């Protein structure tokens, strides 16, 4: 089975064309070699897949015929990804939250409307005071 089709069947990519694109970018290696989309994969092959800043390490146990349900994926592959990779991803998410808190920075559309309403109200009270 082709590597792009296998990754699509095992639900690592939503569409086969996205899987093909990832293979072309060099994010997938089979047995330590950078793979092309048409590369045939067999049981016992070891695949390394870089996705979302995590290097997934897989061993193929069997070849699926079609795209699988999420519960059946474990019958066809063995995931050997270290737990540290997922912990590292969580740390990256936490560090990104540090830079900008919610509600800071550029105002949202709702915030801008509230600011405009406030400014218009203050302008109207100044105009009334000038008339009196």
* Res 123: pLDDT: 64
Q: For the structural domain made of 3-99, what CATH number should be given?
A: 3.10.290.10
Residue 115 scores a pLDDT above 70: yes
Residue scoring higher pLDDT (17 or 128): 17
Candidates 55, 24, 60; CA nearest to 41 is 60
CA distance 28 to 23: 5
Mean pLDDT calculated for residue range 30-53: 91
And the tokens for 100? 């900008």
């Amino acid at each position: 089975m082709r590597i792009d089709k296998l990754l699509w069947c095992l639900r690592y990519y939503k569409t086969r064309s996205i899987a093909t694109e990832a293979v072309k970018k060099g994010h997938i290696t089979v047995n330590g070699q950078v793979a092309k989309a048409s590369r045939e994969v067999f049981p016992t092959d070891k695949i390394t897949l870089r996705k979302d800043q995590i290097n997934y390490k897989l061993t193929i146990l069997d070849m699926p015929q079609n795209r699988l349900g999420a519960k059946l994926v474990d019958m066809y592959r063995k995931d050997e990804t270290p737990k540290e990779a997922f912990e590292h991803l969580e740390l990256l998410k936490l560090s990104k939250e540090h830079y900008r808190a919610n509600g800071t920075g550029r105002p949202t559309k709702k915030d801008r409307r509230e600011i405009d309403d406030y400014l218009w109200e203050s302008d109207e009270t100044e105009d009334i005071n000038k008339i009196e």
